[in-house]
Every structure is written in C-alpha cells, then in structure tokens.
Structure 1
Amino acid sequence: MPKVSDAYRTARRDEIIVAALRCFAAKGYQRTSMADIIEESGLSAGAIYGHFAGKKELFAAVAGRVLDARRGELEARRSDTGPLPPGEIVATLLQGMRTEPFGGVIVQLWAEAAVDAEIRELVQGVFARLRETVRAGLAEWAAAEPGRVEGDPERWAARLAPVVLGLGPGFMVQRAIIDDFDEDAYLSALPEALPH
C-alpha cells in the first residue's frame, strides 16, 4: 500500500476544515453535526475521524484557520510598512475579519468557549499565538517611537495587548447583531482611540 505524503494529509485536513467552516457558518456550531460535515466534505467518516477526534476539535481547528490568517495579514502589513501603531494593528486585524467569509464563526467560538471548558482549552493556543503577535507588534512600535509610551516598551506592550485584542470582539459582536452598526466609523475611530 503506498504511503500517504504529508502534503496530501495537509490538503485533506484543509479540505475538511473548509467543509466544517461552511457548515458552522450556515447552521451554527450547535446545529451542525459531524454527519453534516461528512456530507459537506464528500469524504467518508473514517477520513474525517482520521484527522479530527470530533466536532469540538474540528471547531478549534476552524478557529485556528481564521485567526492564523489574521496573524499572517498583520505580519505581512508590518513587513511592508514597518512597525504599525496600535490603532493600525487593530484595524488590520478587524479589516481581515470583516472580509473573512467565515468571520461569524469566531463569534460562535467565543460563546462556546465561554461555556465549554473543552473548547476553551482547545483554542487557548490559537488565541495565545494571536496575542503574542499583537504584543510583539505593539512592543516593536513602542521601541521605534521613544517617549510615546511610559516605561519599558515590552512591559507596556504586554499590558496593552489584551486591551487591544478586546476591541475585536466588540467589533465582531456589534457587526453580527446590530443592524445599523457602522463598521467604517468603528475602524476609522481606532487610530483616535489608541496611541498613534
């Protein structure tokens, strides 16, 4: 029997994640079953369970896909322009969520992680990577702008990173549930609200 390559396994895993994203976006986490994901993917149950233990693990992988894409966008923008001020860091992350076809899945993830310890544990690493990317970006900006922040840039960035990340859920929740929410106004106000 031929050996399956790592590239093939990665492609198959990605295929499963995309199918799960479509299901979670269309039906929500609670109403999506593994049978739905299996049907959407067109793969066998064995193929799915060969990559993921169940729906919770798959949901965490979906979150990883969406949030890691935001990290990549932030790193790419930073490499193009140099250190980004805090408001631009948040605006870059949120602009990515705004154009993410499956951005609403993240709001579901926050809700599920708040009440399900297993999901919360599964996504801790994803959020830790995002927080570290934001912290590093803030520290880089503070170091490049002496006198703009009080104290050590690293300590300042560590204190500010959770606050900066907290602006994301505010944007995403309002976007999801408030009919007349002005996304553009929110994004344009970020540089005013944060050091620049």
Structure 2
Amino acid sequence: MPRVTEAHREARRAQIRAAALRAFTAKGYQRASIADVVAESGLSAGAIYGHYDGKQALFAAVAEEVLSRRGTEIDAAARDGVPPSPIEVLTILTGGMTRDLEDGKILVQLWAEATVDPMIHAVVQEVVAVLRGVLLDALRAWFGARPDVAPDGPDAAAQSLIPVMLGLGQGFLMQRALLDDFDPDRYLAAAAAVLPA
C-alpha cells in the first residue's frame, strides 16, 4: 500500500476545513454537526475524525486558516518596503473576513455562545490570540516606519492600538451581520478619521 504523503494529508485537511466553513456558514456553528461537514466534504466521518478531534478543533483550524490568509494579505500590502497603515490593515481584515465568511453571522453567533459555553470561550480566546499576533506584527512594522507617531516606541504604540483595532473590526462585522442599512465604505471612512495616519 502506498504511503500517504504529508502534502496529501494537508490537502485532505484543507478539504475538510473548506467543508466545515461552508457548513458553519450555512447552519451556524451550534446547529452545524460533523454529519453536515461529512455531507459537505463527501468524506466519511472517520476521515474527518482522523484529522480533527471534533467540531471545536475543526472551528479553531478554520479560524486559524482564515486569519492566516489575512496575515499573508497584510504582508503583501507593503509597498516598496512601507508597511500598510492601520486603516489599510483594518480594510484588509474586514474585506477578507467578508469574502471568507459571507455575511459574518457565524462570528456573531460564536461571540454570543462564547459568553455561556466554556469550550467555545476557549476556542475564541485562541483565535483572538492569533489575530492579536497578526495585528501586532503589522502595527509594529508601521509604527517602526513612523517614529513621529510612536514616541514610546513601535511596540508600545502597537500594543495600545490593538484593542481599538479589534473593536473596530468587531464593530464592522457585527453591524454588517445585523444592520440592513450598514454602509461598509462609510464605516471605514469614519474609522480612518480616528486611526493614526
């Protein structure tokens, strides 16, 4: 029997993550089951469990992949060695999340569930830690190139701006998911007026 390569295993995991994202988006995290992921992927339950311990582990892997794409997009946004500004970072994050998560309602559901379900709370904490790392790298690089707006140094400036960036990103996604008249361009223009430039 031929050996299964790591590339093949990763391709299978990517297939499973994509199917899970479709299932979570269609039904919401709580209502989606591993059976839904099986149906979306065309694989067996054994194939799913051979790579992921359960729904929470699968959600964490999906979230990590989505955030990893944002990190890659932020890195690619640097022009001529100049890192993207805070508003450019926010635009990349919100634009990418919009592409990957359609209406974003799954995030609103997860944030709500994280307040009452300790396991989901733990997963959300892991995901936010990854997001903070992405933001820290991007903001530290930008403040490093702009010492005029970082009198206490790039690390301190980045650390102080991260909660604001998280709040602006969550506000964007929350309003987009819940408000019929949400205007993303107007929101980002208002955010640009309050972020350092």
Q: Shared fold (TM-score greater than 0.5)? A: yes
Q: Provide the rounded CA distance (Å) in 2 between the counterparts of 1:114 and 1:45.
A: 29
Q: CA RMSD in A?
A: 1.9
1:111-137 deviation per Cα after TM superposition (whole angstroms, max 9, x unaligned): 333332223323434322321221122
For structure 1, the 5+ residue unaligned runs are: none
- TM-fit CA distance, 1:48: 0.8
Q: Secondary structure at the match of 2:148?
A: coil
How many Å separate the matches in 2 of 1:6 and 1:57? 19
Q: Which moved more, 1:139-148 or 1:35-44?
A: 139-148
- Aligned to 1:10, what secondary structure does the other structure show? helix
Query: Structure with the greater relative contact order (CA < 8 A, sep ≥ 6): 1 or 2?
Result: 1
The change in CA–CA distance for 1:121 and 1:83 in structure 2 (over 3 A counts) is same
Alignment partner, residue 173 of structure 1: 174
2:37 is matched with which residue? Answer: 37
Aligned to 1:164: 165
Is 2:185 the partner of 1:184?
yes
Paired-residue identity, %: 51
TM-score (norm. length: structure 1): 0.90
Distance 1:99 1:124 in 2: 23
AA at the equivalent of 2:112:
A
For residues 140 and 6 of structure 2, the distance between their equivalents in structure 1, rounded to whole angstroms, comes to 36
Distance 1:174 1:81 in 2: 34
Moved over 6 A (4+): none
Which is worse superposed, 1-10 or 118-127? 118-127
CA 1:102–1:115: 2 relative to 1, 3 Å: farther
The TM-score with structure 2 as length reference comes to: 0.90
Using the alignment, how far apart are the partners of 2:80 and 2:172 within structure 1?
25
Q: For the structure 1 residues 88 and 96, does the alpha-carbon distance in structure 2 shift closer, same or farther, using more than 3 Å as the test?
A: same
Question: By how many angstroms is 1:103 displaced?
Answer: 5.8
**For structure 1, which segment, 11-20 or 112-121, has the greater mean C-alpha deviation from structure 2 after superposition?**
112-121
Q: Give the Cα separation in 1 of the matches to 2:79 and 2:5.
A: 32
